[in-house]
Amino acid sequence: LKLQFLYFIGNKNMDTSNMRLLALLCGVTAAHGWWCEGHMLVAEIASLHVTADVNAKAAEYANYIHFNGTFKKSPDWKQMACWADDMKGAISLTAPWHFIDQPVNPENVPNVPNPPVDNVVKAMESEERTLRERSKYNIWENSFSFADFIHFVGDSHQPLHCAELFSHLFPPPTGDMGGNLFIVVFNGTSTKLHSFWDSVGELYQDQDRPMTPTEQQDFVALAKSLDAEYGPQLTPQEINNVNYTSWAVDSHSLAIKYAYADLKNGSTLTPVYINNARNVAKRQITLAGRRLAVLLQKLFG
């Protein structure tokens, strides 16, 4: 972290770089978005739909992060999609960049707060701006922004990163913390609702990195199968929608319909719920990958 601090000493820009400099001085947190496998699937699917020059630029940023950053677990840009969670595990101030607490308030409890100003939508806007104006910044700042950007695109498609339940059981100001306080039972074991969705209904895990060649081969095959199954369900209008606010609104709607879905705290998940959650999550990962491809092609193509 001291090495990263030195990268920013000479930068007086008040956009993302100074915000990150403050972040490097802060403490610890341990929350996650899609677990690592989900984030890498977003990036892997995106890589299937961009040109060779875009993949090369992404590889350049991954190489820099891997060989010069603090967390040396990202030898390629698809594995770098998890890097923002590596950082968040050590730098607590970056945590709000991963979600937007749009309220779900079925009981109309009073004093529900508005989403904080620092959120995943603002973070994506900031990181995209840095990448669009990358000639103003050094390689570390651009690599940092790229790693964050590809991660936040994934986070914004996880429904429970865009919703927070408020009720008499989960009162303001914290609510249920995006399902992190909401407990459900899956296969006889209690788990956080948020974790169930992060893991795509317990299908995916927090993949160790760097992956072995065999793991990478299997992983590419999984990304291609997801893209083949869910890609045809996506309309051109959906794929080409690069309005971050609308992504968050859509994810919020999915949280209401499929994640909370009239669940009670402590309830056992039904086969219907599990199947719906897995399908929605896999479709969202595929959509995030396809949208990320559109954005990267515009930025670097």
What is the residue-wise DSSP string for 259-270?
Answer: IITT--TTPBPP
Structure-block tokens of residue 33: 């978005």
With the CA atoms of 287, 288, 293 and 295 taken in that order, what torsion angle do they form, in degrees rounded to the nearest 10? 120
Mean pLDDT of the chain: 89
Residue where the block lists tokens 């499929």: 258
Q: How far, in Å, CA of 285 to CA of 291, rounded?
A: 10
Structure-block tokens of residue 177: 């913390």
pLDDT at 246: 98
Say if CB 117 and CB 71 are below 8 A apart. Answer: no
Picking from 222, 243, 230, 219, the residue whose alpha carbon sits closest to that of residue 286 is 230
pLDDT of residue 88 exceeding 80, the answer is: no
Find the helix packing angle between 271-300 and 244-254, rounded to 10°.
Answer: 170
pLDDT at 33: 54
Q: How far, in Å, CA of 199 to CA of 278, rounded?
A: 9
**Per-residue pLDDT reduced to its tens digit, 153-206:** 999 999 999 999 999 999 999 999 999 999 999 999 999 999 999 999 999 977
pLDDT of residue 66 exceeding 60, the answer is: yes
Residue where the block lists tokens 């399908």: 279
pLDDT at 129: 97
Residue 15 or residue 244, greater confidence: 244
Say if CB 8 and CB 24 are below 8 A apart. Answer: yes
**Per-residue pLDDT reduced to its tens digit, 42-52:** 999 999 999 99
Output b/e per residue, 120-155; b: 16+ Cβ within 10 A.
bbbbbebbbebbeebeebeebbbbbbbbbbbbbbbb
Residue where the block lists tokens 């350049």: 60
Say if CB 120 and CB 49 are below 8 A apart. Answer: no
Type and span of the H or E element at 237: helix 236-239
pLDDT band at 123 (very low <50, low <70, confident <90, very high): very high
